[in-house]
Structure 1
Amino acid sequence: MPQIRLNGCQFHYTDQGSGPPLLLLHGLGSSERDWEYQIPALTPHYRVLCLDSRGHGQSEKGGAGYSIALFAADCLAFIEALKLEKPHIVGLSMGGMIAFQLAVNSPQIPASLTMVNSAPEVIPRKPKEYWMAGKRLFFAHVLPMRAIAGGLGKLLFPKPEQQHHRDTFQARWNENHRASYLASLRAIVGWGVSAQLDRIACPVLVVSADQDYTPVEQKREYVSRLGDARLEVVDDSRHATPVDQPEAFNALLLSFLQEVDAERTLTHEVDPA
């Protein structure tokens, strides 16, 4: 599998298919393996690259100095090193936060953004939000990874027929490097770029599960503050929408990407300069 050294860290990535570049960014505690249901649908149309964020998957582990800004800088370095011109970027949960940060810092880079069950900030503002953030941080620091994996597996895939997803998720989650996982979680809490959303210059698709951690209305609110943006809600889905509803998600994503590509082609033909 390909490896690349960027910003003092060794990264693992995959590179499959051909066509316009499409970069997939996974969520907290996950890896490029979580896109397994998207790869067959996307590679006939796109050059699909999946990057393991530092501290995740087969990338180098650590745990010191992690931040969403650092993860975004890693992604930018990856895009530049592989000479990816105007990549589409898809981010799930933490991956969406990384994509938000990259697009705010370097609005000229992405051709489009697709945010899946994500947000432009994770800043507690109400007593209940402080309580939830504190509880999550506390239990993440005191429980073993196996216990965290078991609880999250049941939360994400509660149905009897989802046993395979539960087993797969729990096994993968249990492989996490504890210090890196905790450092990544701490990087999320308190992060935000909500005040800079007007810097995002590309089309944005926001995908929300109907039963995500955060309500659909929260996504609707930030979509209203973006320029060229739309919200799509996937029914009967939780936080891992690309896994629990892959066909619906893939159809939404491909339709959006092909629409953006068609518009870019038309614009180029009208104004080749």
Structure 2
Amino acid sequence: MPVVTLNGVDINYVDQGAGETLVLIHNVVANVDAFADNIPFLSRYFRVIACDIRGHGKSSKIEDAAKAPEFYNFERIAEDISQLLEHLGVDTYYVLGQAFWGGSAAGHLLDVDFPRVKGIIFSSSSLLSMDEGVPPYKMLGPQGVARFERMIALARSEGMMGVYEERIRSKQFWSERVLNSPEILARFADMHRATSPTAFANFPHFSHAKKRSIVAKIRQGQVPVMVMLGSDDSDTEKLVRGAREDYDQTHVITLPDCGHYLAIENPLDFNLAVSNFVGGCILRSSNGVSNRAQKAQ
């Protein structure tokens, strides 16, 4: 895969297929390999672009804790991807973000690149903003907070394989499908090894003001939105409720036999759902049908 230097960092990326552009953004402790079961299928129908976000895979990392909050934030990640798309000559595009890091980065990218974003998909996430100084895992309740605080401590003391072993023990966001699959566990182990422990220990902040800006642009542009959830994931009702409160035209789909990592756990249904959503958006756009017109019917 090629590496390009943009926005002051090296960005490892993949660019496959032709046609309308679909951008895939992975979650924390992942990289482009998280979409290994998806890009070959999706690139039959779209130009698919994905990259290792900073701190992950073969893209740039820093391990200076004092500089980490400035380096690892969603504004910088969105700038990286926006500049990559400009470098690759992309005008308009669709974007998918996986879980909190990927979904938040996708939202920040829409805020930067609106109205170039023609549709957005949140996989196992929605727009989850928080008060200043409050880490996102505080939303998970006492048990989830305790698990994440332990994993962050392990990242600092033992590195990312300490986090990997703890995730196997705690089962945080890992369904039985993941835990019972040696192949999936091996992929996660590789992605842990390729992740900066300092990045993992510095979850970026997503402000309420930024969320208001993103939601306002979605509403203004009637941007098609889909939230994809796994049948075995947790707090899905809360995610759906929040997404619909943000934008009442949000399309929601639940995929069977998977938890938090839809693209890895159930690639068949993930690929079909994504291609059908983007293909439907393209068809409606070519027919001159907007979400607003559909709502009025």
Tell me which interval the TM-score lies in, with the shorter structure as reference length: 0.7 to 0.9
Report the equivalent of 2:176.
158
Aligned pair in 2 of structure 1 residues 67, 54: CA closer, same or farther (>3 Å)?
same
Report the equivalent of 1:271.
none
Q: Which of 103, 113, 130 does residue 110 from structure 2 map onto?
A: 103
Structure 1 Cα separation of the partners of residues 76 and 252 of structure 2: 28
Q: Which of 75, 79, 88 does residue 73 from structure 1 map onto?
A: 79
Stretch of structure 1 that moved more, 130-139 or 93-102: 130-139
**TM-score relative to the length of structure 2:** 0.80
SS of the residue 1:251 aligns to: helix
Instruction: Give unmatched runs, 5+ long, in structure 2.
Output: 290-297
Structure 2 Cα separation of the partners of residues 149 and 62 of structure 1: 20
Structure 1 Cα separation of the partners of residues 268 and 10 of structure 2: 33
SS of the residue 1:80 aligns to: helix
Structure 1 Cα separation of the partners of residues 11 and 211 of structure 2: 29
Q: CA deviation at 1:62?
A: 1.3
User: Superposition pairs for residues 164-183 of structure 1, below 5 Å?
Assistant: 164-183=183-202
Q: CA deviation at 1:128?
A: 6.9
Report the equivalent of 2:227.
206
- The alignment covers a number of residue pairs equal to 265
Contact 1:24 1:50 in 2 (8 A): yes
Contact 1:22 1:47 in 2 (8 A): yes
Aligned pair in 2 of structure 1 residues 76, 157: CA closer, same or farther (>3 Å)?
same
Tell me the amino acid that sits aligned with residue 254 of structure 2.
Answer: V
Report the equivalent of 1:146.
161
SS of the residue 1:267 aligns to: coil
Contact 1:150 1:170 in 2 (8 A): no
Listed one character per residue, the Cα deviations across residues 48-95 of structure 1 (whole Å, up to 9, x for unaligned) are 111111111100111521211211121211222222121111110111
Aligned pair in 2 of structure 1 residues 213, 62: CA closer, same or farther (>3 Å)?
farther
Contact 1:23 1:90 in 2 (8 A): yes
Tell me the amino acid that sits aligned with residue 67 of structure 1.
Answer: N
Q: CA deviation at 1:122?
A: 4.5
SS of the residue 1:100 aligns to: helix
Contact 2:125 2:239 in 1 (8 A): no
Tell me the amino acid that sits aligned with residue 96 of structure 1.
Answer: G
Tell me the amino acid that sits aligned with residue 141 of structure 1.
Answer: I
CA RMSD after TM alignment = 2.5
Report the equivalent of 1:37.
37
SS of the residue 1:102 aligns to: helix
Tell me the amino acid that sits aligned with residue 79 of structure 1.
Answer: L
After TM superposition, where is structure 1 displaced by more than 6 Å over at least 4 residues in a row? 125-128
Tell me the amino acid that sits aligned with residue 172 of structure 1.
Answer: M
Q: Do structure 1's residue 14 and structure 2's residue 32 form an aligned pair?
A: no
Structure 2 Cα separation of the partners of residues 126 and 32 of structure 1: 24
Listed one character per residue, the Cα deviations across residues 155-186 of structure 1 (whole Å, up to 9, x for unaligned) are 32424642221222123213322123323x2x
Listed one character per residue, the Cα deviations across residues 236-261 of structure 1 (whole Å, up to 9, x for unaligned) are 31111111111111111111111011
Q: Do structure 1's residue 240 and structure 2's residue 261 form an aligned pair?
A: yes
SS of the residue 2:121 aligns to: strand
Q: CA deviation at 1:136?
A: 4.7
SS of the residue 1:111 aligns to: strand
Aligned pair in 2 of structure 1 residues 208, 127: CA closer, same or farther (>3 Å)?
closer
SS of the residue 2:162 aligns to: helix
Tell me the amino acid that sits aligned with residue 195 of structure 1.
Answer: R
Q: Which of 259, 267, 270 does residue 280 from structure 2 map onto?
A: 259
Report the equivalent of 1:62.
62
Stretch of structure 1 that moved more, 224-233 or 116-125: 116-125
Contact 2:25 2:102 in 1 (8 A): yes
Report the equivalent of 1:82.
88
Aligned pair in 2 of structure 1 residues 6, 168: CA closer, same or farther (>3 Å)?
same
Structure 2 Cα separation of the partners of residues 104 and 224 of structure 1: 19
Structure 1 Cα separation of the partners of residues 127 and 255 of structure 2: 20
Contact 1:21 1:84 in 2 (8 A): yes
SS of the residue 2:201 aligns to: helix
Report the equivalent of 1:46.
46
Residue identity over aligned pairs, in percent, reads 20
Aligned pair in 2 of structure 1 residues 255, 264: CA closer, same or farther (>3 Å)?
same
